[in-house]
Amino acid sequence: MSWIGRLGDRLKKAGRSFAGVLALGGSERPLDAEFWEEFEEALLAADLGVGTSERILEGLKTVARQEGWRSAGQAVERFRRDVERFLDLPGAPILLDRKPTVVLVVGVNGTGKTTSIGKLAARYTAQGKSVLLVAGDTFRAAAADQLAIWAERSGSQIVRGPENGDPAAVVFDGITAGIARGVDLIFVDTAGRLQTKNNLMEELKKIRRVTERALGRAPDRTLLVVDATTGQNAISQAMLFNEVTPLDGLIVTKLDSTAKGGVVLGIVERIERPISYVGLGEAIDQLEPFDAREFVATLFDPQ
């Protein structure tokens, strides 16, 4: 089943649907003030945020005037098309064009970094690639144990250090080991950290620096893991992580929840980086490459 299908199932179970906006425009409803207000509320309820929602509405209203739209359906159709195009950015998938390709995974606490790495590792080992996981979260109790279980499940190797040890040292060892063993792909797991904690962000800078030193170049991909249930704070997360360790893409997790994850629009608007993968459940195969068309279709039409 496609991820859209699964998502649709979840939504049916929830007894509600994303259809709000579509229903708004489905009929031959006139483009009146009431429609625009409902449209705005639908966007706000999907976590798009006041700023992004206002910009979208203003843009749509302007075009509506210029092109003389009459029905709400036209506005909704245009919105769908524009958002698809907007989210469709190049550079989303991990390319194995270097050996080893190194992927640094960062984010705040509890977004699903370790789980996402486990699922990604499984995806690549299934393709016959050799994968090494580096347990760079030395802070949270048993974080390395958790990654070790994912390594076993996915048939990957793992490099770990002592709990409460220096994460940068573990990362250096891990990457050096990965190069020596000639693996195809290295995932570096890092501890969750709130983006406003300077000392922890400095630690992340150091991890990136050490990666560069061990590898002789910057990490090939730095991915930020964002929880789809997060509200407007996700924008602050993306901006501040991007300052400390330039991001190449996002992994949006927990999209199988009832949250719509609309805040990613604001993130993409600001950092201009694509969504690489989406997490849709706890099973090992429930992490899929992002597809802008399907994402937007799901927003409006779960069936």
Partner 1 sequence: MFEQLSDRLGALFSRLTGRGRLSESDVTEALREIRVALLEADVSLSSAKSFVARVKERALGADILESLTPAQTIVSICHEELVALLGGAEARLQFSDAPPSVILLVGLQGSGKTTHAGKIALRLKEQGRRSLLVAADIYRPAAIAQLQRLGEQIDLPVFERGTADPVETARLGVAEAKRLGISTVIIDTAGRLQIDDALMTELERIRAVTKPHEVLFVADAMTGQEAANVADGFHRRLGITGIVLTKMDGDTRGGAALSIFERTGAPIKLIGVGEKLSALEAFYPDRLASRILGMGDVLTLIEKTRGIYTEEQAKSLEQKMRNAQFSLDDFLDQLRQVRKMGSMGDLLKMIPGMSRALPKNFELPETELKKTEAIICSMTRQERRSPQVLNGSRRKRIALGSGTQVADVNRLIKQFDQAKSLMKQFGGKRRPQIARGSFR
Q: How far is the CB of 260 from partner 1 (least distance, A)?
A: 8
Q: How far is the CB of 164 from partner 1 (least distance, A)?
A: 11
Q: How far is the CB of 91 from partner 1 (least distance, A)?
A: 27
- Structure-derived torsion over alpha carbons of residues 240, 243, 246, 247, reported in degrees to the nearest 10: 20
For residue 43, the surrounding DSSP H or E stretch is: helix 33-45
- Which C-beta is closer to partner 1: that of 76 or that of 108? 108
- Which C-beta is closer to partner 1: that of 230 or that of 242? 230
Q: How far is the CB of 230 from partner 1 (least distance, A)?
A: 5
Q: How far is the CB of 195 from partner 1 (least distance, A)?
A: 7
Give strand pairing partners of 221. 103
- Which C-beta is closer to partner 1: that of 27 or that of 109? 109
Residue 101 vs residues 96, 104, 128, 244, 281: alpha-carbon distances, Å: 6, 10, 15, 21, 26
Binding site for partner 1 (CB under 8 A): 10, 13-14, 41, 44-47, 49-51, 108-112, 115, 118, 139-143, 145-146, 148-150, 153, 163, 194-199, 227, 229-234, 236, 240, 254, 256-260, 263, 282
Which own/partner contact pairs does 194-202 have at CB distance under 8 Å and 24+ positions apart?
Answer: 194/108, 194/109, 195/108, 195/236, 195/237, 195/239, 195/240, 195/241, 196/236, 196/240, 201/240, 201/244
Residue pair 79/86 in contact by the 8 Å Cβ criterion: no
Q: How far is the CB of 228 from partner 1 (least distance, A)?
A: 9
Q: How far is the CB of 39 from partner 1 (least distance, A)?
A: 13
**DSSP class of 163:** T
Find out whether the peptide bond into 246 is cis, omega within 30 degrees of 0.
Answer: no
> DSSP string of 242-293?
HHHS---EEEEE-TTSS---THHHHHHHHH---EEEEE-SSSTT-EEE--HH
* Gyration radius from the chain CA atoms: 21
> Coil, strand, or helix at residue 217?
coil
Q: How far is the CB of 255 from partner 1 (least distance, A)?
A: 11
How far apart (Å, rounded) are the C-alpha atoms in residues 26 and 38? 13
